[in-house]
Amino acid sequence: MFGKNTLMPYLLDRKIKTLDYVIISHFDTDHVGGVLYIMENMKIKNIIIGKQFETTENLQKFLSLVNKKKINLKIVQAGNKINIENNVYFNILWPEPSKPITENSINNNALVCKMICNDFSMLFTGDIEEQAEKELIAMYKSTNILESTVLKVAHHGSKSSSTEEFLDLVKPKIALIGVGKNNNYGHPNKDVLNRLNSIRH
């Protein structure tokens, strides 16, 4: 179990016994499975999730633990802002409840948020795919809202995400891909890596 064998030891090794904030992008097991164990075994003050459009077993387990552990739950949507401390906050860019995506609903309605700390910014994209990227482009293309210092690349570098138009708006200086070595999915996709390498600033 990832929470017990990896995540919990990682936190305890760094003498972390309380988490002030946890952000969950969506409720696929590879994104929330370890967190459920942490919720059972460590104090968490606040958890942020996006508005949900589909009920899953993981979501039900999560909500049960929130009640059991009396954790402050913040359910957010596009347009919300979460203040963490002075000069550190998150702008919530997606999901947009007025136009939820029905195709691959859990991935495409995953939480997308931008952390801002002074001049530094980081865009977190969960597992959104091309359809959600198109919605974000339509919402924010005439602004610099998507532009970020660091991009957490969507969906583990899958070929279904990181379109050229989306990357052109984000303009990241650094791109991070969460991916297992020699994984069965072939992530990250070579075309995605090529698009990331060709970004012009």
Q: Domain segments of the chain: what residues?
A: 1-76, 77-201
Contacts with 99 (C-beta within 8 Å, 6 or more apart), sequence order: 135
Specify the pLDDT at position 189: 66
Query: Is residue 28 predicted with pLDDT exceeding 90?
Result: no
Specify the pLDDT at position 67: 97
Specify the pLDDT at position 188: 78
107, 19 contact by CB (below 8 A): no
The Cα–Cα gap between 1 and 73 comes to 24
- The band of 100, judged by pLDDT with boundaries at 50, 70 and 90, is very high
Specify the pLDDT at position 187: 61
The Cα–Cα gap between 46 and 146 comes to 25
What predicted TM-score, i.e. pTM, was given to this entire model? Answer: 0.89
Query: Is residue 201 predicted with pLDDT exceeding 60?
Result: no
DSSP state of 172: -
- The band of 156, judged by pLDDT with boundaries at 50, 70 and 90, is low
The Cα–Cα gap between 147 and 119 comes to 12
Pick the CATH number of 1-76 from 3.40.50, 1.25.40, 3.10.590, 3.30.1390: 3.40.50
**Phi, psi (degrees; rounded to nearest 5) at 48:** -110, 130
The Cα–Cα gap between 161 and 127 comes to 8
Provide the CB-side half-sphere exposure for 29 (13 A, CA).
3
Residue 180, token pair as written in the block:
């297992």
H or E element, residue 45: strand 43-50
Nearest alpha-carbon partner for 151 in 160, 137, 162: 162
For the segment 32-77, what is each residue's pLDDT rounded down to a tens digit? Answer: 889 999 999 999 999 999 999 999 999 999 999 999 999 999 999 9
For the segment 115-145, what is each residue's pLDDT rounded down to a tens digit? Answer: 999 999 999 998 899 999 999 999 999 999 9
Nearest alpha-carbon partner for 109 in 150, 60, 36, 59: 59
Specify the pLDDT at position 198: 77
H or E element, residue 168: helix 164-170
